Amino acid sequence: MSKLPKVFISYRRDESTGFAGRLHERLTSLYGTESVFMDVDDIGAGADFVKTIEDQIASCNVLLVLIGNQWLTLKSGNGVRRLDDPHDFVRIEISKALAGNVRVIPLLVNNAKMPVEKDVPADIRGLCRRQAIELTEERWEYDFGRLVEALSGESSQRKSRRKLMLLAGGIAVLAAAGGVLWFREGAPPVTGKWAATVTYDFLPAQPETFVFEQMDDQIRGSASFLGVERTILEGTIQDDRISFITRTREFSGADTRESANHYAGTVKGPEIQFVMQTIGGFSDHPPVKFTARRVE
């Protein structure tokens, strides 16, 4: 079982409060309130601001830095750029994390660009060398799935786009399972039936089945959870990355709650390496990693 991360969320109220709040809510639902700290909102009245940040950074293993389009240029009331102020809390958070060898993940909000080293103070230039993850309204579930995968220990780097395979001046084909799979650049075909053995934190290994129908960059079909087929919702595929959601209901006495299973995977030929996170229901669960293999 993967060790749960302890996360510190760094953001500027002027440009990314909505994203920070939504991210805080989703992460606490996954990892618990004790595992997610969101800067000033979690600092008690009368507490030493800098010392509290230092203590929290020291106890965290991941710093998430939300970077919007004004992150570099926002100024204080005196006209000084905030990043140039050594007492700026965002700068302090990043500096302490980098100095303490805390893992730093930039989150680019709504198509923001990564800052370059020459534009930031020397003590936080290490941020500019960190691999970033995009966070957008349009692809929220997909982007959040990538973040969960990164927090689970998977590589956050995207695989390079698949190249067309040429054979004898034509398009190469792969014969498998009595059929022919046609590969096109940028989106591996996943149409068909896939099977996996999944070990949940509350049950021994369970056989699960996935039936996908790929329509350009959309995925439809079903994915079983605990052996019961669930309809795929919000299914997308981009390059070799696939993501989707299924929903189920949990019962405890007369109480009923809905939970959602968020799947994020990487297609590697006849295999898909998945990370699945259950959100909601009556209890919290760590992310589950498994490999699905093509059977039809």
Instruction: Provide the pLDDT for residue 9.
Output: 93
Return averaged pLDDT per consecutive 10 residues of the chain, 296 residues in all. Answer: 76 84 85 79 62 84 93 90 92 92 91 92 94 86 85 50 33 36 52 93 87 89 89 88 87 76 91 90 84 92
CATH number of 7-138: 3.40.50.10140
Instruction: Provide the pLDDT for residue 44.
Output: 60
Query: Quick one: which of 201, 226, 207, 225 has its CA closest to 283?
Result: 201
Query: Quick one: which of 38, 35, 39 has its CA closest to 4?
Result: 35
pTM of the model: 0.56
In sequence order, which residues have a C-beta less than 8 Å from that of residue 132 and are 6 or more positions away? 67, 105, 106, 107, 108, 114
Q: Indicate the length of the chain as a whole number.
A: 296
Domain boundaries, the chain: 7-138, 166-294
Which superfamily does 166-294 belong to? Answer: Avidin-like (2.40.128.30)
